[in-house]
Structure 1
Amino acid sequence: MTSDAGVEADIDLPLIVDALRADGLAAEALAWDADPVAWDRFDLAVIRSTWDYAGRLGEFLAWVDTTARVTQLWNPAPVVRWNSDKRYLVKLTERGVSVVPTQFVEPGGRYSEEDFDMADGVVVKPAVSAGAMDTARYEPGRHADAARHARMLLDQGRTVMIQPYLRLVEEGERALVFFSGTFSHAIRKGPVLIEPEVIDNFREVHPGAAPYRPTEVEIRTALEALAVVPSPGAPLFARVDLALNETRDPVVMELELIEPNLFLHDNPLGLERFVEAVAAESRRTTA
């Protein structure tokens, strides 16, 4: 599954379709909101670049539920719904997973400017977002500006996340990719929030992405996060985004289970692993 934006920008999508067809599967790339599509004619539907879902969340989740009733959907509808709101970070924290410290403020909830006054600055973002939309960081001393950003989001009826800015993110964010619960590959990319006090919804979301060999601790942290996902089995695909905290320990920034970039274009082995996972699930479905 893709979207209009995905058709234009997802460079992995044609590679995936061609590789699945080469493996003997009848694969098609269709927009999730294409009308009409008889999803029950497919044995398996795999969400990929549905990159407009965050702005149409209610509509998207309704489609997810409807589609899951007529075909096998990956990742499954309960996982998609759980992962669509970053309040899942609370569940990770409760299970002992190392996560960026996060405060959530609901519309109508109480907060003060002091909540945004952090030693290395603060990051403000909505709990439902993709591609760092409506997100910005604020330098120390600019907590009043950060509070105004939060108020803007709250006035729109959106839940707000308040996080400390991790200075070591400037050494690179890590993105670890897993297929069927098994680590495949990783990349490291430059920081996204380069310019402070700026909401830039057209920023590059994966600047300088390059292959990366994660440490054992990073892989273990990612697996601990995946173990919390409310699913009877491992997600078909997953990306765990990590950064380093002030003690250089990895912490989870996000758990991407809906439509993450899997960085397959320059990774033939990763593409092969993804196709193997999809093909195996397709054959189980039709067995």
Structure 2
Amino acid sequence: MTVNVDPAARERSRVALVTCAELPDLDPDDRLLIEPLRAFGIEATPVAWDATGVDWSSFRLAVLRSPWDYTARRDEFVAWAAGVPSLANPADIVQWNTDKRYLGDLTAAGVPVVPTAWATDDTWTPPAGEAYVVKPSVGAGSVDTGRYRLGDPDEARLAREHAARLIAAGRTVMIQPYLPAVDTYGETALLYLPDESGKLAFSHAIRKGAMLDGPDTGATGLYKEETIKPRVPIDAELAVGEQALAAIPGGPDRLLYARVDVIPDEAGRPLLVELELTEPSLFLATAEAAPARLARAIASHR
């Protein structure tokens, strides 16, 4: 690959690709960045966010990629982020975005969000209706997440038990209706990376198939496996993406990446499920130009 960059950018520099101890060599998708970064004269080094003895000031930039074990230690992770001299995405975004109660801010800003209820104590009872999703407000990779048919007494009991486990562990529970379209149309993830002017712009999209087939089983791990395919998004999905980006505190153009996840409601209108700004999978392998585009953005990031 041949690239044209400013001569100053060709100086050898170090960038940390921030991961976790369970993925010391990065997630495979993130390894696609290493060669394009090398073409910009950048040495990319995987570093676990909680590794001891790391001098984060020795890196020109630390790029959050797969620190997916932080969910059990969010306060520690947020404090760590605040101490990194140069972090992408920024530490204030990490604090805001690692607790899904940010969905309330997006709803207040007029973004069409999946209706969400919250529970912090044992007075919670399952809502009336059909299928619902129960999960923690601080979580990643659909871990500790279950789908429940609340009209079924056994599943309603399991939903209460699931919520009680999370609450007993000091976690806030979020409850959302399960949108049936995820079983047919699937979930759309819209990926945004900086364009050549440095402004965050739509890059590519993927379709995720249904992942939740029943109550939470208590399985552990960093994430649940996903079925991913490239997708061409419709205009209505892109419009929700733009609404979500416009509502980001401090604006979107200081970010290195963003991901907007949407699912249609029963009328076919896209609803935002998550706005992922901290450590989202970017599915670089699904778009040929995406690794080089992100590498260019890292090389020019200030």
Q: Provide the TM-score with structure 2 as the length reference.
A: 0.85
Q: Structure 2, unaligned stretches of length 5 or more?
A: 1-17, 195-199
Assess if the C-alpha contact under 8 Å between 1:47 and 1:258 holds in 2.
yes
Comparing both structures, which one devotes a greater share of its residues to strand? 2
- Inter-partner Cα distance in structure 1 for 2:223 and 2:124: 31
Assess if the C-alpha contact under 8 Å between 1:15 and 1:265 holds in 2.
yes
Q: CA 1:259 to 1:203, structure 2 compared with 1: closer, same or farther past 3 Å?
A: closer
- CA apart distance, 1:197: 5.7
Q: 2:146 aligns with which of 126, 133, 136?
A: 136
One-letter code aligned to 2:233: P
Q: CA 1:100 to 1:206, structure 2 compared with 1: closer, same or farther past 3 Å?
A: farther
- Inter-partner Cα distance in structure 2 for 1:203 and 1:28: 21
Does residue 1:92 correspond to 2:106, yes or no? yes
Assess if the C-alpha contact under 8 Å between 2:143 and 2:224 holds in 1.
no
Q: CA 1:78 to 1:252, structure 2 compared with 1: closer, same or farther past 3 Å?
A: same
- CA apart distance, 1:118: 1.5
SS class of match (2:118)? strand
1:165-180 map, 5 Å: 165-171=178-184, 172-180=186-194
SS class of match (1:265)? helix
Stretch moving more, 143-152 or 46-55: 143-152
Matched with 1:270 is: 290
- CA apart distance, 1:143: 2.3
- CA apart distance, 1:214: 0.4
Assess if the C-alpha contact under 8 Å between 1:190 and 1:208 holds in 2.
yes
Stretch moving more, 22-31 or 131-140: 22-31
CA offsets 1:252-280 (integer angstroms, 9 cap, x no match): 11111111111112432111221121122
SS class of match (2:22)? helix
SS class of match (2:100)? coil
Q: CA 1:80 to 1:55, structure 2 compared with 1: closer, same or farther past 3 Å?
A: same
Q: 1:118 aligns with which of 121, 129, 142?
A: 129
Assess if the C-alpha contact under 8 Å between 1:240 and 1:255 holds in 2.
yes
Matched with 2:56 is: 39
One-letter code aligned to 1:118: G
1:151-162 map, 5 Å: 151-162=164-175
- CA apart distance, 1:204: 6.5
CA offsets 1:212-234 (integer angstroms, 9 cap, x no match): 00011101101211211112442
Assess if the C-alpha contact under 8 Å between 1:175 and 1:239 holds in 2.
yes
- Inter-partner Cα distance in structure 2 for 1:7 and 1:262: 18
- CA apart distance, 1:167: 0.8
1:42-53 map, 5 Å: 42-53=59-70
Comparing both structures, which one devotes a greater share of its residues to helix? 1
Assess if the C-alpha contact under 8 Å between 1:137 and 1:198 holds in 2.
no
Does residue 1:29 correspond to 2:46, yes or no? yes
Q: CA 1:232 to 1:203, structure 2 compared with 1: closer, same or farther past 3 Å?
A: closer
Matched with 2:8 is: none
- CA apart distance, 1:80: 0.6
Matched with 2:246 is: 227
Stretch moving more, 259-268 or 82-91: 259-268
Q: CA 1:194 to 1:23, structure 2 compared with 1: closer, same or farther past 3 Å?
A: same
Assess if the C-alpha contact under 8 Å between 2:140 and 2:222 holds in 1.
no
Q: CA 1:252 to 1:233, structure 2 compared with 1: closer, same or farther past 3 Å?
A: closer
Matched with 1:259 is: 279
1:54-73 map, 5 Å: 54-67=71-84, 71-73=85-87
- Inter-partner Cα distance in structure 1 for 2:221 and 2:41: 38
Q: Provide the TM-score with structure 1 as the length reference.
A: 0.90
SS class of match (1:29)? strand
- CA apart distance, 1:145: 2.4
Q: CA 1:195 to 1:202, structure 2 compared with 1: closer, same or farther past 3 Å?
A: farther
Assess if the C-alpha contact under 8 Å between 1:126 and 1:153 holds in 2.
yes
Q: 2:231 aligns with which of 202, 207, 212?
A: 212
Assess if the C-alpha contact under 8 Å between 2:19 and 2:26 holds in 1.
no
Over the matched positions of the two proteins, sequence identity in percent amounts to 42
Assess if the C-alpha contact under 8 Å between 1:107 and 1:158 holds in 2.
no
- CA apart distance, 1:147: 1.8
